């Protein structure tokens, strides 16, 4: 099934202004889904979907999601459904072991894992924990002095978290990363900036590194950054929302070397790990920091197990009170695939991305812009040498031309002022023939744009 575009507001004209007074027939509803809803759906599971990052579905993930929908528990405290809390702790310990995370992240000690809805919620909760921990140390009145650091390639979720956490906008340092470091954060630049901030009385308290940035899969140097964070008493968060999945393979695990320095680590199982949206795995070394920032204890939720401190109550590790039974689907994915199949899955996509990278490299009209690390290829059509057609406009037009076919869906980014096309392999059904077909569409559209005759 191919992705399809539709015009803004298309649905309003197709549906009535208000809900029916009397029940409709199920068949009627299904007919409307077919005729009115599906034409406006972008098919993220299509094998021809190469945009943004993937959002995997699988039979195992889907079944887990269905079971969870059927049971429909609301597991905010252990007592509200003991299996939900306990399975979540166990499954995140399993996944932590698959990623070879340090033992401090396991639930047996002071740390543990929790499933958040998204990576954005994950960075928000750890930022709140870090903020309150810093304020306990330096005094409540120091909020306006607290400074957050990350590269300018960090996902905008961090900026949003800062806005919510009351971090002053001018204290959110998004340090420039460029092609000299393949868009990774430079520890030297970080060190210089922190020294300048300390000199004027500011308080560095949070550093966010990314493994697999959203634009180009850049990998920040965790070990150097983490040591730096530690020596400055900063919370060190690692966002591996997309690329974390690859680190279950021994040959890619080195990309998170240095995670032992981190206070928190996040990976989206709903991206590239066959687990239906939403399922964002977050681990912390010190769960009490989260609980101190986020717990409440109203009378109507009091119970023996919680009062006796015998259990984890995940309501104190997240923003909302209510929470779904999300661990079921992750547990089913881990059990029904097993580590070896999951590793093969990741490897097959990385191999396909390499194949695409080779195809691009063989066509001299194109260039691969940043070295491919995982399953994303960043590339662009080179502007003709007469410079008549500006490269950014050309690639923007190429993106539109390719996506308007409705047969392939890719997305873009901007790196150092250059408009770049992103080809992210990661949909579960994608095979080499889909990659080849997408490349043919790209080549044909490029040929048409450049005014060449079709080859």
Chain positions contacting ligand PLP, by CB under 6 A: 53, 118-120, 155, 157, 210, 212-214, 239, 241-242, 268, 280
Cβ atoms 256, 236 nearer than 8 A: no
Closer residue to ligand PLP, CB minimum distance, 226 or 391: 226
DSSP letter (8 states) at residue 37 = I
**What dihedral angle (degrees, nearest 10) is formed by the CA atoms of 323, 324, 325, 331?**
-100
Residues in the chain, overall count? 455
CB of 272 vs ligand PLP, minimal distance in Å: 10
Closer residue to ligand PLP, CB minimum distance, 268 or 318: 268
CB of 454 vs ligand PLP, minimal distance in Å: 36
Distance CA(79)–CA(301), nearest Å, equals: 9
Distance CA(108)–CA(445), nearest Å, equals: 56
Q: Which residues fall within 8 angstroms of residue 447, CB to CB, at 6 or more apart?
A: 453, 454, 455
What are the structure tokens assigned to 438, written together? Answer: 């997408």
* 75 HSE (CA, 13 A, CB side): 27
Closer residue to ligand PLP, CB minimum distance, 210 or 276: 210
CB of 262 vs ligand PLP, minimal distance in Å: 15
CB of 241 vs ligand PLP, minimal distance in Å: 4
- CB atoms under 10 Å from CB of 197, counted, come to 18
Distance CA(88)–CA(334), nearest Å, equals: 13
CB of 321 vs ligand PLP, minimal distance in Å: 20
Closer residue to ligand PLP, CB minimum distance, 172 or 203: 172
CA angle in degrees (0–180, nearest 5) for 331-265-137? 130
Distance CA(303)–CA(274), nearest Å, equals: 36
Distance CA(299)–CA(430), nearest Å, equals: 52
Closer residue to ligand PLP, CB minimum distance, 159 or 348: 159
Closer residue to ligand PLP, CB minimum distance, 212 or 391: 212
Distance CA(424)–CA(49), nearest Å, equals: 8
CB of 381 vs ligand PLP, minimal distance in Å: 24
CB of 369 vs ligand PLP, minimal distance in Å: 18
Closer residue to ligand PLP, CB minimum distance, 46 or 268: 268
Distance CA(183)–CA(191), nearest Å, equals: 17
CB of 255 vs ligand PLP, minimal distance in Å: 13
* 122 HSE (CA, 13 A, CB side): 28
Closer residue to ligand PLP, CB minimum distance, 78 or 423: 423
């Amino acid at each position: 099934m191919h992705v399809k575009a539709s015009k803004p507001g298309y649905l309003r004209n197709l549906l009535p202004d208000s809900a029916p007074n009397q029940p409709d027939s199920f068949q009627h509803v299904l007919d409307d889904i077919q005729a009115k809803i599906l034409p406006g759906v972008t098919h993220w599971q299509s094998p021809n979907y190469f945009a943004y990052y993937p959002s995997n579905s699988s039979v195992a993930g889907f079944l887990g999601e269905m079971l969870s929908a059927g049971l429909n528990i609301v597991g905010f405290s252990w007592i509200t459904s003991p299996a939900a809390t306990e399975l979540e702790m166990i499954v995140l310990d399993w996944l932590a072991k698959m990623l070879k995370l340090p033992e401090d992240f396991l639930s047996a000690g002071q740390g543990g894992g929790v499933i958040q809805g998204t990576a954005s919620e994950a960075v928000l909760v750890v930022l709140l924990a870090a903020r309150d921990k810093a304020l306990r140390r330096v005094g409540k009145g120091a909020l306006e002095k607290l400074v957050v650091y990350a590269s300018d390639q960090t996902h905008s979720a961090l900026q949003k978290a800062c806005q919510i956490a009351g971090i002053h906008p001018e204290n959110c340092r998004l340090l420039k990363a460029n092609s000299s470091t393949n868009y990774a954060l430079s520890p030297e630049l970080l060190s210089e900036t922190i020294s300048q901030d300390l000199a004027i009385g500011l308080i560095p308290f949070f550093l966010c590194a990314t493994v697999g940035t959203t634009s180009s899969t850049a990998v920040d140097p965790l070990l150097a950054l983490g040591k730096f964070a530690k020596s400055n008493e900063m919370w060190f968060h690692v966002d591996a929302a997309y690329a974390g999945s690859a680190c279950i393979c021994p040959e890619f695990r080195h990309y998170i070397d240095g995670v032992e320095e981190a206070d928190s680590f996040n990976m989206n199982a709903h991206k590239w790990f066959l687990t239906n949206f939403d399922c964002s795995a977050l681990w912390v070394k010190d769960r009490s920091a989260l609980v101190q920032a986020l717990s409440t204890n109203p009378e109507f939720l009091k119970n023996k197990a919680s009062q006796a401190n015998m259990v984890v109550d995940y309501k104190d590790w997240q923003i909302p009170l209510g929470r779904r039974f999300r661990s079921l689907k992750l547990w089913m994915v881990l059990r029904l695939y097993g580590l070896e199949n999951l590793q093969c899955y990741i490897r097959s996509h990385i191999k396909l991305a390499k194949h695409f990278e080779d195809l691009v490299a063989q066509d001299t009209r194109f260039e691969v812009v940043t070295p491919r690390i995982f399953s994303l290829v960043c590339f662009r059509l080179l502007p003709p040498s007469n410079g008549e057609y500006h490269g950014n406009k050309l690639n923007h037009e190429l993106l539109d031309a390719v996506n308007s076919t409705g047969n392939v869906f890719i997305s873009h980014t901007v790196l150092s002022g250059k408009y770049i096309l992103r080809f992210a392999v990661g949909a579960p059904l994608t095979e080499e023939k889909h990659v080849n077909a997408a490349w043919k569409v790209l080549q044909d559209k490029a040929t048409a744009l450049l005014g060449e005759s079709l080859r």
